[in-house]
Amino acid sequence: MTDHLRYYASALLLPLVALTAVTYGAGELITSLPTGEAAVNTGLAAGRTGLWNRLTDIGTSLSDTPYVVALTAVTAVFLGLVRRRWYEAAFLVAAVWSQSLIFLATSALVARHRPPVHHLDPAPPTSSFPSGHVSAAVGFYCAVALLLALRLRRPAPRALVWTLGVAVPLIVAFSRLYRGMHFLSDVLWGLLLGACCVAVAARAILARHRRREHPRLPARSPEPDRHAV
């Protein structure tokens, strides 16, 4: 038990604490500089149309908190109880919830105001930096894409999975910008935050499982399942 705690403290907890500190520092730096980012939001707001209003409403809903929480729970239960891959379930939960905790902690401290345009969505109590919708989209969709890609043999299905896994966070990012809910740096850091949380969780959990299953293999990303379709 002690070895497990020591391992996860060094491989999972410490990197996430460091990522929290870096995110906070980046937020404080950005809010202290005249970035001129409001011009992006102003330009998007000036070109709004009914069609794009509806499309971006769908786009932002792909990462609404209730949906992400429900999708994460259902997927984790499926991986653990049905597929008996508890380490994959643990990876998914760690990827999603780590970005959420970092987002909540840093947004409360940075307290950046929303862009000075009409907001098409109700403004949540959290601040503008970083974008929690975007980091959650990366945390869930990219984590699921990684799990699926590791089980696929053929390059075409893997490419399709990754295309979808990356496209959804980008759609969410554009939707949040368009709807006046975030500055450009907010969504860019959301993308980075989510990607870092997925990478940390993958290294700490997926890679460790691979090393335990195949101790003679080098410590790198797991190979695709040769028995998968």
**pLDDT value at residue 227:** 45
29 vs 34, 35, 186, 188, 220, CA distance in Å? 10, 10, 12, 15, 34
Query: 71-104: per-residue pLDDT in tens?
Result: 999 999 999 999 899 999 999 999 999 999 999 9
Tokens 């929690």 correspond to what residue?
132
Report the Cα–Cα distance between both ends of the chain, in Å, rounded: 37
**pLDDT value at residue 208:** 80
Amino acid at 56: T
The angle subtended at Cα 44 by Cα 43 and Cα 47, nearest 5°, is 90
Q: What backbone torsions phi and psi does residue 162 show, to the nearest 5 degrees?
A: -70, -35
**pLDDT value at residue 126:** 77
Q: How far apart are CA 174 and CA 66, in angstroms?
A: 20
Q: How far apart are CA 188 and CA 183, in angstroms?
A: 9
Q: Which of 208, 70, 87, 216 is nearest to 147 (CA)?
A: 87
Amino acid at 63: S
Q: How far apart are CA 82 and CA 86, in angstroms?
A: 10
pLDDT under 50 in the chain at which residues? 221, 223-224, 226-229
Rg (CA), the chain: 19
Q: How far apart are CA 96 and CA 120, in angstroms?
A: 26
Query: 120-145: per-residue pLDDT in tens?
Result: 998 877 789 999 999 999 999 999 99
Q: How far apart are CA 115 and CA 94, in angstroms?
A: 31
Tokens 């959990």 correspond to what residue?
205
Q: 70: helix, coil or strand?
A: helix
